[in-house]
Chain A
Amino acid sequence: MDTPYSIFINGLSGVFVGIGTLYLMMKLLAVLSDRWAKPASKSESGTTK
């Protein structure tokens, strides 16, 4: 686990996996937030993205 290559690959992919998971979490938050807002407003809550 110690060669520069493995650290490079692990590192870069680790960053993308971490950020990717955060991305999914943020999307989830957005969906939940829209759902919680719905009962309060009758108007269209807008399309995502």
Chain B
Amino acid sequence: MAEEVLAPLAGKVLSVAVAVGAIVEEDDELLVLEAMKMETVVYAPADGTVLAIQAQVGHQVEEDGPLMTID
């Protein structure tokens, strides 16, 4: 079952820590968002493999915007 990782808040993508195909465990660091001049780390909601990365460094995402898909 593919799981969408959604943005917990609106912000700008500062950096992405994993690549497509990477194996992640729950609570691994996936990417860093910037909101209100503060960096927020988004963590993996479950174990799996990164299928796709929708987030692009430097782009704004909305709250609940798609960031990654994990299987």
Whether chain A touches chain B in the assembled complex (some CB pair under 8 Å): no
Q: Show the binding face of B for A, using Cβ within 8 Å.
A: none
